[in-house]
Amino acid sequence: MDYKLAFKELKIEVTQNQKEIVAAYRKLLPGCNPEDHAEEFMKLREAFEVAMEYAKNSDHEEKMESDEAGEFLNAVEELYSDYERRINEEEWRSVLDCSFCISLETTDIAREKLLVYLMQNYRMPHKVWKCIDDCFGIIEEQKKLYEIFPGEFIDYVVNHIQTDDKFPYEEIEISDVHNTHIDEYLTVLFHLEGITNDIEWGFDYDSVELKNDIEKLNEYDIHHPYQDVVTLNALLLEKQYEQAWHVVEALLKQAYKDDCVYFVLGKYYWETENYSLAYDYLKKAVEVNPEHYTARLYLAKIEFNNKRYYECREILEALLSVNNNNPMAEQLLDATNKEYVKKLTYEYENGIEDEHFKKGMLPIELGWCLFQMDETEKCVEILRSMEPDEDEKYAYHNLYGRVLCSMERFEEGLEHLIEWNKILDSIKEDGTEETAKRISRKCMAACMLGNCYYNVGKVDAAIDNYEKGIVFAQNLNEKIGAIYQLANMLFEIGEYHKCLQKCDELLELNRRYYAGYILRQKAFFELRIAQGVIDDYYNATSIYAAHFAPYYCAALMLYELGRDEDCKAVLERAIENEVEFPPKMKLLYIKLKRVLEENEMNETAYKKLLKELDELENMRDDEGFDIEDISDINFERGLVYWNLCAIDNSKKNQSMVKQYLELTINENPKALRGYTAYCDFIMHPSRRDNGNKYLDEAENYYNRALENVGREIPVIYGLGIVCYLRDQQQQGIQYFEEVLERTNTYRNACTIVKDYYLELYTREYNPEYFDKAVAAISREIDRNPDCDFYIDRGLVYLRAYKMNLAIADFESAISCNPDHWSSYNNLECCYKYLGEYEKAIEYGQKALECLRDAGLKATNPYRNMADCYSSMGQYEKAIECYLKAIEEMDYDEKAAYDNIVDLYMSLGDYENAKLAAQKAKSEYDYQQVLVEIELRKGNVEKAFQIAKDSLRLCEDTKSYAKGLHDLAEWYGNMFDSMEKAIEYNIKSLEVAEGCLSYQYERDVYSRIVMDSLYIGKEVDNK
C-alpha cells in the first residue's frame, strides 16, 4: 500500500508523529471488528503498519521522491501501453506536465528513469520524441547522457528528435489499442523494410530471412499499409509477379497513399514493363517527397529507356550530388553519357543548336559528358577552343577547373577554380531556382579550390578555402564533408593536433561518422597517443565492425608498445567479425605470432610462418598490395630464421638469417633496421668466431649504414661496441660520447662511459675523469630520474669518498622506490665509512627487511653491519652477523669464517678461533692460525716450531715459496739470524721460479740486500 493511501485510510494528514498515528488507528478500530469485517480490518491494519513504517523512516524526502517516481513511471507505462495515446503528443505533454518532471530537484531523475523505460519501449513518432525533448532537453544534455546510457541508444533518441522518419504510425490497424504485440510487429516490419532498402542499394540479402519476416507479419492480428509495401518489395525481389499483383490490388484499394506506396507501385509496373504507369506512380512519389532517392533513380531509368538522355542526366547528376557512391546511379550515368555524347558530338561538329541549351552551352554540356566518361583530353580540347561569353563563364570555369585538377594539372586548374569561386561569391539571391542551385555549389567550389591550392603547395590558402567551404555548407552532411576534407589535408601535411581538432568538430556534429573516427585514430597514432587510438578503435568498430582499418591501427599501436596480448586480442576480434585482412595486416599478424608464441614455437610452426610469408611475397604484383616497404617481408623472414637458430643453430639457419637480412638491406638501403639486425645477429656470443672476423664484418655493415642512412645513433653506438670488444676503449668512448651528446636514451652508453672514466679516475685520481663519470650518469638522471640511476651516481660519489653527495643520491633513490634494498645498503656503507656506526646499522636492518619482503638474498648488509660492530668493539655481534649471513643467505662459509677467526682472536677466544679456522682454512693456513695463537700467548719457541713443521703441509709451489719466506722472516725478525734469513729467502726465490708476482720477487730481493748489508756480507750482483 502506498504511504499516502495509508494516511488517507487512517483519515489523518501525512505525519511523522507515531502517537498521532496510533490514536487514529485506535479511533477507527471499533468500527471494523476482525470477526465481522475481516477485509476492512486487514486494510486498516495494513494502513497502520505502512504509516508507522513511514514515521520510523528518517529519509522521508527520498521516500516521497521514490513514490513520485513510481507514480510517474506508472503513468508513462499506462500511456505507452495504449497505442492511440502513445502516438499522441498531447497525451505525453499531459503526463510530462507534473511536478516530478518540472521541479529542478527531480527533473534529472525523471529524465533518467524515463529513458531507462524507453530503452525497451521506443516505437513512437517524431512528434512524441520532440515533445520529450521539449520537456527534458535531451539534445542539450546529449554529452552528459552519453556517460550514463549506451551511445547507440542516445544516438537513436537524438536522431528521432531531430529527424522525422515520416513513418505513419497513425495508419496502423488494430482491434485492441492495448495489443501487447504492437512493438514486436513494428520491429519485424522495420527489419523487413531495412532489408529491402539495403537491397535497393546493392547489398546482398538472405532470401530465407526475407520470407520468414513476411510470414511473421502475417501472424499478427495487426496491419499497416507499409506491410503491403515491404511485402510487395520482397516479392518483386524474388520476381514473384503473380503473388505481387494481389498485394498491388490491396494497395490500390486502400485510402492511405504516400511516397512509399506510390514508389512501390511504380516499381511494380517498372518490373512488369508497364513503363507508362510506372512513370505516373513514380512521379507521384517524387511530388509527395521530392527527396525520394530511389523513386528519382527509377524515373531516370524510364527517361533512359525513352531516350530522353538530357532529362536522365539531370536526374542522375542531382542524385549523385547527394550521394556520389551509388553504383546503380553511376552505371546508369555512364550508359546515358555514351548515348548522349553521340548526339551532342554530331550537333557540335555540325553546328546544330540543341533544344535544351542556350546558345554556346552545347560544347560545355558535351564536355561534362566526356569528363564523366574520363575522356578528359577530348574535354580539354573542346574547352580550349572556346571563347566563353559572360553567361557561359560560370559553367566554363567550373568544368575546366575540375577537368584539369582531375588530370593533376593543378597549376592550370587553379586559375579556373579561382574564377569560378569569384563568380559564385558575386551571386545574389534572387529567388530563382538556377541561382539557388549555384549558391548551393559554394561549399563544394571552395573545397575544390582548397584542394587545388594544397596540391600546388599553398597550404595557408588551402586552409582558408576549406574554412570558407565549411561556412558555406547548406546542410549537415555538406558541412561534415568540408570539415573532413580539411582534417584529411591537415593529416597529410603532418599537422596532427589541428587534424584532431577538426575531427572532434565533425564528430560533435555526427557521432556516427565512421570516417571521422578512422582519420582521428590515424592522427592519434602519429602523435603516439595510445589511449586515443584504442578509444577510436572501439568507436569505429561499434559503427562498422567489418572494415580492417580501425583494427590495424589499434593492433599496430599495441604491437609497437610491446602490449602483445592486447594486440592479439584486437586481431582475433577482427577475425571473429570476419574482417578481410589486407597484406599489411597479415604481415603484422605473422610478426605477432612470432613474438608472442616464441616460447611455444617449434620448427614446424616456424616453417608455417615462412610459408605465410611466401604467400605474401606472391601477392606483390596484385592490386591492393598495401605493404609500403617491400623489405618488410624479407626482414620478417630473417627474424623467423633467427628464432629457428634457437632450436637448431646450424650453419644453414645462420646463413638464411644473413641472406634475408642482406636482402632487406638491398631492397631498402635507406632503412636502418636491416643493418642493425644483421650486426646484432653476427655479434651474438654464440656466433662469434675465435678471432675478430665477426667484428670486421659488423664494422663493414655499420660503415655501409653510415653511407646509406647517415650518422644515425644506433650506428654510432654499434661502432662504439665494436671498438670496445676490440679493446679500443678510447675510440669506443668517442663514439659513445657522440651518442650521449645527441640522446639520453642509451643507458648502456651512459654506463660504459661512466665506468671508463671512473676507472681512469681510480688509477690516476684526475678530477677531470671523475667529473666526466658523473656527467655520464647524470644524463640518465636528467632523462629519467629513477631509482637505479641515482644509485649508480651515488656509487660514483662513494668511490671518490664524496659522502654528502653519495648520501643525497641514495636518499633520492629511496624517494623513487622506498622498497629497493640496495639504496639502504649503500647508505649503510656511507655511514660506516663516516664512522656513524649506529646509523649505518639502522640502514642495514632496513636493507634486510626490503630483501625479505621481496624474497631476495644478499650478504652485503650483514657484512657491513659486522664491520660496524667490529669497529665498535662489539665482536660478538659482528660474529652473529656473519653466522646469520651463512644461515639465511648461503654466504660463502670460508670467507665468513675467515672473518670470524679474526673476531674470535680479537676476543681472545682461541678455542673458538681454532674451530672457526678448521672450517675456513687449509691445513697449512690452520697451522698459521695456531702460530698466531701461540705468539699471542707469548710462546715464541712453540710458535716457531709449529711454523717450521707446517712447511711440509704446503701443497703447491706458490705456498711452499711463501712458507720459506715466512721462515726467513722468523729468523730475521725474531732470532736476529740474518744468515738463516738470507738462506731461506734465496730458497724461496729458487722454488718460486717466476710463479709469483714481480712485486713479490722484488720485495724478497730487497730483503736479501738489506739483510746482507746489515751483516756486512757482499751482495751478489744477481
Between vectors from CA 1004 to CA 998 and to CA 1008, what angle results, nearest 5°? 140
pLDDT in tens, 647-656: 888 889 999 9
Whether 209 and 195 have beta carbons less than 8 Å apart is answered as yes
DSSP state of 353: P
Any idea which residue has 677467526 for its cell? 901
Three-state SS sequence of 136-173: HCCCCCHHHHHCCCCHHHHHHHHHHHHCCCCCCHHHCE
Lowest-confidence segment of 59-73, 330-344, 798-812, 829-843 by average pLDDT: 59-73
**Which segments of 56-191 are extended strands (E)?**
173-174
What count of other Cβ atoms lies within 10 Å of the Cβ of residue 964? 22
Between vectors from CA 840 to CA 838 and to CA 843, what angle results, nearest 5°? 115
Q: Is the pLDDT of residue 1022 over 70?
A: no
Q: Is the pLDDT of residue 60 over 60?
A: no
Q: What CA–CA distance (Å, rounded) separates 111 from 137? A: 9
Q: What are the counts of helices (DSSP H) followed by strands (DSSP E) for the chain?
A: 56, 2
Amino acid at 419: E
Average pLDDT over residues 120-147: 90
Q: What CA–CA distance (Å, rounded) separates 86 from 124? A: 7
Contacts of 25 (CB under 8 A, 6+ apart): 10, 44, 48
Average pLDDT over residues 638-646: 91
Task: Please give the pLDDT value at position 964.
Answer: 85
Q: Is the pLDDT of residue 21 over 70?
A: yes
Average pLDDT over residues 546-556: 95
Average pLDDT over residues 651-673: 93
Q: What CA–CA distance (Å, rounded) separates 445 from 413? A: 13
Q: What CA–CA distance (Å, rounded) separates 863 from 211? A: 87
3-state secondary structure of 223: strand
Q: Is the pLDDT of residue 890 over 70?
A: no
Whether 899 and 911 have beta carbons less than 8 Å apart is answered as no
Average pLDDT over residues 988-1017: 83
3-state secondary structure of 174: strand
Q: Is the pLDDT of residue 307 over 50?
A: yes
Contacts of 831 (CB under 8 A, 6+ apart): 807, 837, 839, 840, 843
Q: Is the pLDDT of residue 995 over 90?
A: no
713: cell is 645513433
Q: What CA–CA distance (Å, rounded) separates 23 from 15? A: 12
1001: cell is 720477487
Any idea which residue has 501487447 for its cell? 180
Residues in the chain: 1022
Average pLDDT over residues 536-540: 93
pLDDT in tens, 558-603: 999 989 999 999 999 999 999 999 999 999 999 998 888 776 778 8
Whether 192 and 210 have beta carbons less than 8 Å apart is answered as yes
Q: What CA–CA distance (Å, rounded) separates 761 from 774? A: 11
Q: Is the pLDDT of residue 63 over 60?
A: no
Task: Please give the pLDDT value at position 495.
Answer: 96
**Residue (of 172, 98, 102, 167) closest to 128 by Cα position:** 167
Report the Cα 640 to chain-centroid distance in Å. Answer: 26
Average pLDDT, the chain: 88
Backbone phi and psi for residue 690, each to the nearest 5 degrees, phi listed first? -70, -30
Average pLDDT over residues 59-80: 75
Average pLDDT over residues 256-274: 92
Report the Cα 633 to chain-centroid distance in Å. Answer: 24
Contacts of 505 (CB under 8 A, 6+ apart): 483
Lowest-confidence segment of 216-230, 254-268, 419-433, 776-790 by average pLDDT: 776-790
Give the chain's end-to-end CA distance (angstroms, integer). 123
E strand or H helix at 222: strand 222-223
Classify residue 165 by burial, with Cβ atoms within 10 Å: 0-12, 13-18, 19+.
Answer: exposed
Backbone phi and psi for residue 173, each to the nearest 5 degrees, phi listed first? -110, 115
DSSP state of 971: I
Q: What CA–CA distance (Å, rounded) separates 713 from 722? A: 14
**Residue (of 991, 982, 933, 920) closest to 962 by Cα position:** 991
Say which residue, 40 or 627, is predicted with more confidence: 627
Instruction: Quickly list H helices, 255-389.
Output: 259-271, 275-288, 293-305, 309-322, 327-349, 362-372, 376-384
Phi-psi region of 993 (alpha: psi -120 to 50; beta: other; left: phi over 0): left
Whether 607 and 648 have beta carbons less than 8 Å apart is answered as no
Task: Please give the pLDDT value at position 487.
Answer: 97
Between vectors from CA 1020 to CA 1019 and to CA 1022, what angle results, nearest 5°? 135
Average pLDDT over residues 711-740: 90
3-state secondary structure of 122: coil
Q: Is the pLDDT of residue 716 over 70?
A: yes
Q: Using a pLDDT cut of 70, give the percent of the chain over it.
A: 96
675: cell is 643493418
pLDDT in tens, 682-692: 988 876 665 67
pLDDT in tens, 324-376: 778 889 999 999 999 999 999 998 888 888 888 777 889 999 999 999 999 99
Q: Confidence band (pLDDT; 50, 70, 90) for 58?
A: very low
Amino acid at 322: V
Q: What CA–CA distance (Å, rounded) separates 476 from 322? A: 12
Backbone phi and psi for residue 230, each to the nearest 5 degrees, phi listed first? -70, -35
Q: Is the pLDDT of residue 421 over 90?
A: yes
Whether 829 and 798 have beta carbons less than 8 Å apart is answered as yes
Bridge partners of 303, per DSSP, are none
Backbone phi and psi for residue 577, each to the nearest 5 degrees, phi listed first? -85, 10
Q: Confidence band (pLDDT; 50, 70, 90) for 248?
A: very high
Q: Confidence band (pLDDT; 50, 70, 90) for 61?
A: very low
Lowest-confidence segment of 86-95, 439-448, 752-761 by average pLDDT: 752-761
DSSP state of 711: S
What count of other Cβ atoms lies within 10 Å of the Cβ of residue 299? 23
Bridge partners of 222, per DSSP, are 174
Classify residue 1016 by burial, with Cβ atoms within 10 Å: 0-12, 13-18, 19+.
Answer: exposed
Whether 259 and 295 have beta carbons less than 8 Å apart is answered as yes
Whether 767 and 774 have beta carbons less than 8 Å apart is answered as no
